[in-house]
Structure 1
Amino acid sequence: MKRAKKVALVAAAAAAALMFAGCSNGGGGTTGGDSKPYIALVSKGFQHQFWQAVKQGAQEKAEELGVEITFEGPASETEVDAQLQMLQAAIDKKPAAIGYAALDPQACIPLYDAAKAAGIPIVEFDAPCDSDYSQNLAATDSLVAGALAAEHMAKLIGGSGEVAIVGHSQINSTGVQRRDGFVDKIKADFPGITIVDIQYGDGDHLKSADIAKAMIAAHPNLKGIYGTNEGSAVGVVNAVTELGLQPGKLAIVGFDSGSAQINAIKSGLMAGAITQDPIGIGKAVVQAAYDAMNGKKLEKFTDTGSYWYDKSNVDDPKIAAVLYQ
């Protein structure tokens, strides 16, 4: 479905919802069986270990604050319609607050309008909607993280040669900014490096593996590939394994962690990766939702940080604290 048509359909659904929306969150946004405030979290997906770590952090913070949460996400990060339906369902439940991680930054705008009309505050995590209604975004600064990946790629290949990117999205902000941070840093500081190809595997490791194999075949002088999320990076590692390339022949730089990437780094198949702090993101979004529902004024952005890890520091306690298996 084209984005314009999708936004139109969502707008129609939101307009219908507004007919029944009150001017408040329906009496405090509490769960049915007790008096605990209820916060609805709608994630970008469930298929990566990253999101399970975000959920863990959210649950830990919810217990600390004495609130109830739900944590939902579509099966795949390409399922924009499914995510929008989850956001609509969250609004219909009239929670005290909503936390949202946008797959499509445009398609969510009408539903944000519906939440605003219903008096339900929205905070965001990982990726924003293109609406000015959200009160806070808890996320990694993806431009900074992409630049950090570029710096390490440049060091790995000696500052010259051909590299390629297997991205996970051309639409949501994490995909765009992790790509742009990498590309801009290479162009600005490493004129000897040429980015010969950028393609997108939707964060799916099978699709990303096929893309990486095609890149390697098309560019025999390729020195490195950057995968912009867990599924992308694992796909690149799988491609190299399937092609029988020796560990280290191609510099692979990933993003996120998860057991597959950690094992690939320890074995030498992957040079290193950028990790976020997903547990910290989960805690931050619940804290922001709690503060928003209590009328506290929030900063627009909470940077939860990004960190390089490789074989030399993967077992360092400071790095281990932001990795997830």
Structure 2
Amino acid sequence: MRLAKFFLFSVLMTGGLALAQSQVTIAALMKTTANPYWGAMEQGIRAGAQAGNVNLIVQSVASESDVEPQLNACLNLLQRNPQALVVAAINSVNLLPCLRQANQRNIPVVDLDANLDPAVLQRENIRIAFSISSDNRRAGASAAEYIVAKLGQNFRGKVLVIEGLAGNVTGAARRDGFIERLKQIAPNAQVVATLPGDWDRLKAANITNDVLQRHPDLAAIYCANDTMALGAVEALFAANRGGRVLVVGTDGNSDAIRSIRDGRLSASVAQFPFLVGQRAIENVLRVIRGQPVESRILVPTLVVDKATLEANRDPLLQYLR
């Protein structure tokens, strides 16, 4: 009996040691988690890590303009010897020295939210395991379709586009997708300005106010993220134009959802960052195990307005954070 108990204890201890030794360490580098979009993505990363028994190391930066601090944070994460590196780069070039080191050490790199430009990666001979995001160009197109559906197929009004940070491939894809689709389905609509809001709420509010001075008959605004959309909404209400100008954001973050419920923001193209983060971890674990993974993984989007929220029928709504 004692021998049997000793044997069972030995098996349990050996199994426990093997489990501890096999635990994977993954490093995740975010933009600022003060932005609800990146905060939700971090939640998804943590949920995926917990489900996969991952030893997770997460770092972020204070703002979306901290390009040098983000590079330093990336290099510091490599010193922790992770088995994979998941990054949400501020732009397509700021993390290149870190990614090159990761390649040299055969550490798989995951591009979160398609912030890395494939052309730049090819030119610099840097490899990534895969890129995961929603289809940003399609997200912009969906916003154009929503605006035209609300304002009519013969829509001839004036439209303002507030972009993200200049040089950011994500914001550029959303902007281009919106403008191209708007031209297709409402060729007489007028895009009166397309200006970089740097993902910033106050800057977007100032842009909106300035454009309203020149175009008081503005009909719609498309913003490449929700933070800027909320700034645009604030400027409209301050100018007594709230509710009379259609404003569509992108991301579907928690602040935007509250604003939509309150009848202030018209809609947001939800990108489901929680789902992006969760699936990033699920797929990088496959890479580590040597299993095949698509080089480009797309997460669905959904245009969310007050009617969508009140109906509460779409299964994707469960991933809103």
For the superposition of Structure 1 and Structure 2, which TM-score range results when normalised by the shorter chain?
0.7 to 0.9
Residue 289, structure 1, aligned to residue 284, structure 2: yes
Alignment TM-score, normalising by the size of structure 2: 0.86
**Shift of the alpha carbon at 1:183?**
0.8
**Shift of the alpha carbon at 1:135?**
1.0
CA contact (8 A) 2:252 2:272 kept: no
Residue 86, structure 1, aligned to residue 83, structure 2: no
Query: What whole-Å deviation, never above 9, does each CA across 1:56-115 have from its counterpart, x for those lacking one?
Result: 111111111111112222111111111111111112221010001121212322322111
Q: Match of 1:101?
A: 88
Q: Runs of 5+ in structure 1 lacking a partner?
A: 1-33
**Shift of the alpha carbon at 1:264?**
2.4
Deviates most, 290-299 or 212-221: 290-299
**Shift of the alpha carbon at 1:319?**
4.7
Alignment TM-score, normalising by the size of structure 1: 0.85
**Distance in 1 of aligned mates of 2:115 and 2:292:** 18
Candidates 138, 141, 152, aligned match of 1:144: 138
Residue 126, structure 1, aligned to residue 123, structure 2: no
In terms of fraction of residues, the more helix-rich structure is 2
Q: Match of 1:323?
A: 320
Q: Match of 1:30?
A: none
Q: Match of 1:314?
A: 309
CA contact (8 A) 1:38 1:67 kept: yes
Residue 54, structure 1, aligned to residue 51, structure 2: no
Candidates 231, 234, 250, aligned match of 1:235: 231
Residue 301, structure 1, aligned to residue 288, structure 2: no
Correspondence list, 1:1-325, <5 A: 35=21, 36-129=23-116, 130-131=120-121, 132-158=126-152, 159-247=155-243, 249-315=244-310, 316-317=312-313, 318-324=315-321
**Shift of the alpha carbon at 1:279?**
1.5
Q: Runs of 5+ in structure 2 lacking a partner?
A: 1-19
Change in Cα spacing, 1:246 to 1:212, as seen in structure 2 (3 Å) is: closer
- Work out the percentage of aligned pairs sharing the same amino acid: 27
Query: What whole-Å deviation, never above 9, does each CA across 1:225-263 have from its counterpart, x for those lacking one?
Result: 11111211111111112222242x111111122343223
CA contact (8 A) 2:251 2:273 kept: no
Deviates most, 152-161 or 60-69: 152-161
**Shift of the alpha carbon at 1:137?**
0.9
RMSD: 1.6
**Distance in 1 of aligned mates of 2:251 and 2:136:** 12
**Distance in 2 of aligned mates of 1:66 and 1:266:** 37
CA contact (8 A) 1:154 1:193 kept: no
**Shift of the alpha carbon at 1:221?**
1.9
**Shift of the alpha carbon at 1:266?**
2.3
**Secondary structure of 1:41's aligned partner:** strand
Q: Which amino acid aligns with 1:321?
A: Q
Q: Match of 2:12?
A: none
Runs of 4+ in 1 over 6 A off after TM superposition: none
CA contact (8 A) 1:309 1:319 kept: no
**Distance in 1 of aligned mates of 2:158 and 2:109:** 43
Deviates most, 253-262 or 74-83: 253-262
**Secondary structure of 1:312's aligned partner:** helix
**Secondary structure of 2:308's aligned partner:** coil
**Shift of the alpha carbon at 1:280?**
0.9
CA contact (8 A) 2:208 2:235 kept: yes
**Distance in 1 of aligned mates of 2:70 and 2:171:** 17
**Distance in 1 of aligned mates of 2:64 and 2:242:** 32
Deviates most, 217-226 or 285-294: 285-294
Q: State the structure with more CA Rg.
A: 2
Q: Which amino acid aligns with 1:42?
A: L
Q: Which amino acid aligns with 2:174?
A: R
**Distance in 1 of aligned mates of 2:104 and 2:133:** 26
Q: Match of 1:28?
A: none
**Shift of the alpha carbon at 1:289?**
2.0
**Distance in 1 of aligned mates of 2:183 and 2:164:** 21
**Distance in 2 of aligned mates of 1:47 and 1:172:** 19
Aligned length: 290
